[in-house]
Amino acid sequence: MGSLIGLQLVATGAALCIGVSYYVSQRSAKPPGPRGWPIIGNLFGVPTEFEWLHWATYKGIYGAVSYTTVFGKEIVILNTLEACNDMLDKRSSIYSGRPTMPFAGEIVGWDQQLLLVTYGKHFRTMRKLAHHHLGTKAAAAAYHEVQENEVKYLISRLHGDSEGLVKNLRITIGAILLRMSHGYTTCIDGNDPIVNLVEIASQDFYQATKPGAWFVDIIPWLKHVPNWVPGAGFKKIGAKYRKVNVDQTDIPYNFVLKELSNNTALPSFTSNALRSGELTAEEKYALKYIAAALYGGGLDTMTGATTVFFLAMVLFPDVQRKAQEELDRVIGTSRLPTMRDQEHLPYIAAIRKEVYRWRTTVPGGVPHAATEDDLYNGFFIRKGTIIINNLWAIAHDPDHYDDPMAFKPERFLGDAPELDPGTFTFGFGRRRCPGIEVAESTVFIIIASCLSVFRFGNWKDEFGNEVPPLDEFVSGAVCHPKPFKCTIEPRSADALHLLQTLQSELPERSPSQL
């Protein structure tokens, strides 16, 4: 009997050992990836620019899901739509975090802004406010007239300033977003104090989040060192960035409070939310940050997308011609398009989709982070792992797009349209952009209105020779073409008459309201 019990104990112990061994092996099974060095990991294998192109090469080497480390930070790269949907959408309760960035987050304060805030109550309150007051088609439709009117100013400026294309796009998009978010009417001369503030905050953000730029992101306890300690200069820079970040959030919000107290507030996301009922202190705190995100987050991305559109029209004149034929057929030549025309202009809608896909607006995606341990397809994903969703790789995946490097709006038309890029270019799961309706309608009205009156062509040098723009882009979180010149001219006598009538009817803009 004793020997039998002994055998049972041995067998039980062996089974436990096998179980523990299997559990440990499962937890230690990482996705495939390059071998790194001790301590620094794969530091020298991480690109400093055009990182989405580098990560895309991992798909052919390691598969849809790959892995690397840098100074102990674990990074998982997702290079297919299926992997992104599986992890970031279907398992959004686990993968809705953001990477911890001590400099940009705690020091500069972006950990309170929608883009970098950790998943929690503050985040959920912001999302709830955004959805209720701007996230539906009906809510966004209330601002269609604002979008149409601001685009008239854009057309008027481009008629006399074709070389100021990007500047004028930023003025217009900033004006639309600030009017929608805070009921604020910007200066028309491009020197508005709030628009300038947002521009500075945007540049500060890119500097603050640049990989490897701040040693405190690698050794977080450095944030506690006194300002006078040698090497703590980053704290002075952080304080400067933080002031701009606070100002871009508080100044427009305080403007709305002042306008409400004077009974002069225009309808806007912020004023509508404040008028809708008693908000808690927590909701008011969230409101000013989500309002800042609506214009701050949209300005650069929509400017990038519309600049890509202009570049594409110059590079692909046949696409421009087909779009204008559709506009003439549906609208005629005596008026500008409106939002009501959108459903009747499928080719224009296809151009907008192809702009987002061809030169993906946020090519590297916005990184997520795992908020708890997880097993995915046998791979162990540790809590805190950074998840890169490579949107460029998805947008140029031949499994979804025929001839993916070509600019072909027709791919979204007909009986078998290809994958709508709107399903992934605005993000995944609980981190999906809350301003999709605003972004798509703004880009549409700019595309349709500019095509209705202008012809875009190659720049001509002093000898009259055509100089085609280069299809080149700058590296950064948002896709922007390198500066290029093009001609922007009225495309017909009717278009010129429409432009002249428009310019004579546009009301004068007042100076800054601040």
CA distances from 154 to 321, 365, 367, 484, 501 (A): 21, 29, 34, 18, 14
Q: Which residues have C-beta within 8 Å of that of residue 353, sequence separation ≥ 6?
A: 409, 412, 420, 421, 422
The residue to which tokens 């600019």 are assigned: 407
- CA gap 331, 491 in Å, rounded: 15
Q: Measuring CA to CA, how many Å separate 118 from each of 192, 365, 371, 475?
A: 32, 17, 9, 26
Q: In DSSP terms, which residues pair with 388 in a beta bridge?
A: 77
46 CB contacts (<8 Å, ≥6 apart)?
68, 70, 211, 212
Mark the binding-site residues for heme, compressed into ranges. Answer: 433
Per the CB < 8 A criterion, the answer to whether 253 and 270 are in contact is yes
Q: How far apart are CA 15 and CA 425, in angstroms?
A: 48
Closest of 108, 112, 140 to residue 126, by C-alpha: 112
In this structure, are strands 73-78 and 65-70 parallel, antiparallel, or unpaired?
Answer: antiparallel
- Quick one: tokens of 175? 């004006």
Structure tokens at 423: 């399903």
- Main-chain phi, psi angles of 67, to 5 degrees: -145, 145
- Token code pair at residue 256: 């709305």
Binding residues: 433
